[in-house]
Chain A
Amino acid sequence: MAEETRLIEQLIDRYEGDVGMLIPMMQDIQAEHGYLPASDLRSLSKRLEVPLSRIYAVATFYTSFRLAPKGAHDVTLCMGTVCYLKGSPDILEAICREFQVEPGGTTTDRLFSFQAVNCVGACAVAPVMLVDGKYYESVTPASALEILNGLYPDEDASEKEDEA
């Protein structure tokens, strides 16, 4: 509880309590926790004297906010025009099928949170997928699955490290 309040106090300081800076404050909360914890939103609402309903309206209007904890990795698939024309719908389908995940959701084992976004602005090398901010170019359904399967901690490698 104390932790939480401290973060909110810091945010109020950082943005001089300016209600207009609500979105940056919420972005900072998300940067801290990876999502927007309900308790933080309640404290923010109290401190800023902004109705909680308005905060939730903002949280649900903008697709970049999430209300549930995220997975260990961030996976973003670009669905921009060029990526779309070059096959991103097939990649999307393959990922959803293989990992039983929906865009905006997180795999049940919390391996990764999955987002399908409008455009990441790397159209020249479409289709593009990002894993934890790293760009992968000219992705195919098969290469996407290979990359994502590679996110599982490599047991052999860690064993070797243990031995060394």
Chain B
Amino acid sequence: MTKLCGKRLNNHEELELVREDLLKHRNSGTKSVCVCVGPGCAAKGANRLYELFCEAVRQSDSKVKVEAKSVGCHGLCECGPIILIQPGDIFYQRVEEPDVAEIFRETVLSDRIVERLLHEDPSTGEKARSPDEIPFYKAQNRIALAYNGLIDPANIEDYIAAGGYTALPKALTTMTSEEIIAEVELAGLRGRGGGGFPTARKWRSCRESDGSPKYVICNGDEGDPGAFMDRAIMEGNPHSVIEGMVIGAYAIGSSQGYIYVRNEYPLSVERLKEAIEQARQWGFLGEDILGSSFSFNIRINRGGGAFVCGESTALMASLEGRTGEPRAKYVHTVESGFRGKPTNLNNVETWTNIPPIINRGGEWFAGIGTEKSKGTKVFSLVGNVVNTGLVEVPMGITLRRIIDEIGGGVRDGKRFKAVQTGGPSGGCIPSEHLDARVDFDELTKLGSMMGSGGMIVMDEGTCMVRVARYFTEFLQKESCGKCTPCREGLAQMLHILNRITRGEGDVGDIEELGVLAELLEGTALCALGKTAANPVLSTIRYFRDEYDAHILDRHCPAKECRGLFRYEIDAEACKACGICLKNCPEDAITGEKEVPHVINQEKCTLCGICWEKCPFTAVLKV
């Protein structure tokens, strides 16, 4: 290894020397075992697997050189823990502790496949050796997630060997600020944090604003529940975010950056801290970056667990050490933002897209996607879908392809009901619109939003009124309380939805919700309040009959709202085992040996214990 490795690099040539060296070393027959320790796999014990592989490497006396790496989210969380072996791209799923020794002996040392751990296509029964053969990955196009699951996020050398930090020297040495902005403009990149604002336009306004210093901020607050795209990037490839920020800062003319990370993501903070430290050591951050005259530093701040702080002005207030209350935006933050100075805020995924755009050109990026939404978008595909996980798809793909082809359809053979996108400001899209193309404008037309990328699949067993109530409660709790429409309006909407889901709804409630929704949209201070009614409006628009059933028939068609359905015992399925009878706290169940049991509806308090306990699913919701 050259002496340059780990030293501060003074120019582009030194960086290329280091890269060549790293590649030579890597291509010298070393095998890598990449253990995914993303949130899904980690919850299934992947960290222990990583330790076991490290131990196996230490104890091995084979001539084969092996390294064990812990890597960020690989995507197919459903089948975790996931292990990838390089070279060869061999993909093992649902790996357990006892499998480690076998994988090491067979695959790593002897190049034999452990068939049992391969992914099997449920429809064809075909086994896949590598990710490209798995339907879940086939329809994807990975730009932001290109290196996720392949590189060790804690090791800058991995990122460099994979081709990282090539865009930065290119931008610094061969491009002017205006050329960089023009390239991003040509790419047609729009913000991935929800609003879809053209990134180049924001950069240019900030660059042209009077006032200094200028600030550049990365929004890593990822407040939408049901979403973990930004987390996966920050934890799986933190250097890509940093590289994007340095390029942006150079184009805008900023020397100080901040990354605001959600409080619930301690590992993201750790990964970013390590990455910033390494980038500084190598000369990608700090004074005179790569020997140029450009200097830039990044500081990390942790959020305090308030959803509204993802909003740009609230985030800046929080960075200033104040309560996270948004302000009206008649003066844009690009003119007067953090500390009253010109500030450019972008989302994690937006920043991550910058290095590939600089490397491969705006035209290449603009060649992907639809007319007004370019490139790809990362989604966390979750809920009642077969393959839950993280996916990156070209804009313009239909919802149906994401859910059926990539997601493998609805789980447990149930019927699809709706897909929720856009987080709490988004909406629920029903099956008749599944052929809609995923882009900023299409989803808005359907009453939902692109949002930051949560995509939650709901089946026939999901009550849409309850979903609307969930989001309204979420927003009511998270409303900062500064403006009256949001503070009081949401409380009123929640009050009505509570009544409806308890079976106390009145005729006219839906109209009342409509009035409140209009009021919020027209008069709330920030986008939290302005879009807060979307979940309610979209469910009324597509699932009005469910609201009517709750209000008029006092019945919950999905049988989720307690009190709006009954429990009955199916006499044919009942084996008269007596379990329900013994567990019923109200003694509401009667029956004898070999005689099907019966629930006394007068006594039943609908607690659902019999339904939970019955081993023969003979207790039904009707």
Contact = CB atoms under 8 A, between A and B. Distances in A.
A119 interface: yes
Interface stretch (A1-9, A106-114, A124-132, A145-153): A124-132
Please indicate which of the listed interface residues A19, A24, A81, A124 has the most CB atoms of chain B within 10 Å of its own CB.
A124
B322 interface: yes
Interface string B280-308: 00000000000000000000011111110
B231 interface: yes
A22 B223 CA distance: 22
A63 B477 CA distance: 11
A137 to B, nearest CB: 4
B265 interface: yes
Interface in A9-27: 19-24, 27
A20 B43 contact: no
Given A122-B228, A136-B43, A137-B44, A23 B388 contact: no
A124 B382 contact: yes
B140 interface: no
The winner among A19, A125, A136, A137 for most chain B CB atoms within 10 A is: A125
A125 B40 contact: yes
B321 A58 contact: yes
Given A63-B306, A123-B226, A23 B43 contact: no
Interface in B296-351: 301-307, 318-324, 339
A20 B319 contact: yes
Interface in B380-431: 380, 382-384, 388-390, 420
B380 A119 contact: no
Interface stretch (B439-447, B454-462, B564-572, B586-594): B454-462
Contact of B40 (A57, A124, A133): A124
B456 A118 contact: no
A121 B227 contact: yes
A82 B224 CA distance: 11
Interface in A31-86: 54, 57-58, 61-65, 76, 79-82, 84-85
Q: Which of A24, A81, A84, A125 has the most CB of B within 10 A?
A: A81
Nearest to A123: B382
How many chain B residues sit at the interface, stated as a range, is 35 or more
B524 interface: no
B305 A64 contact: yes
Interface in B237-272: 262-266
Contacts of A63: 304-306
A85 B383 contact: yes
B78 interface: yes
Given A81-B225, A119-B227, A125 B301 contact: no
B382 A21 contact: no
A81 B425 CA distance: 13
A21 B383 contact: no
Nearest to A62: B304
Given A61-B324, A120-B264, A122-B228, A82 B339 contact: no
Nearest to B481: A61
B276 interface: no
B574 interface: no
Range of interface residues on A (Cβ < 8 Å): 35 or more
B305 A82 contact: no
Contact of B320 (A20, A64, A81, A137): A20
B43 A62 contact: no
A2 B324 CA distance: 33
A135 to B, nearest CB: 4
B500 interface: no
Of listed A20, A117, A118, residue having the most chain B CB within 10 A: A118
A80 B226 contact: yes
Given A20-B339, A81-B225, A120-B264, A58 B42 contact: no
A81 B305 contact: no
A135 B39 contact: yes
B44 A61 contact: no
Contacts of A123: 226-228, 380, 382, 388, 454, 456
A99 B319 CA distance: 37
Given A23-B318, A84-B470, A133-B266, A124 B380 contact: yes
B225 A80 contact: yes
Nearest to A141: B612
A79 B264 CA distance: 13
B542 interface: no
A39 B321 CA distance: 20
B157 interface: no
- Max chain A Cβ within 10 angstroms of own Cβ: one of B43, B231, B304, B470: B43
Interface in B468-486: 470-471, 474, 478, 480
Contacts of A61: 304, 306, 323-324, 480
A24 B34 CA distance: 34
A87 to B, nearest CB: 10
B128 to A, nearest CB: 19
B324 A62 contact: yes
Contacts of B42: 122, 135
Contacts of A20: 319-321, 339
Interface of B: 39-40, 42-44, 77-78, 80, 222-228, 231, 262-266, 301-307, 318-324, 339, 380, 382-384, 388-390, 420, 454, 456, 458, 462, 467, 470-471, 474, 478, 480
9 contacts: A80-B226, A81-B471, A120-B264, A121-B231, A123-B456, A124-B78, A126-B382, A128-B43, A136-B43
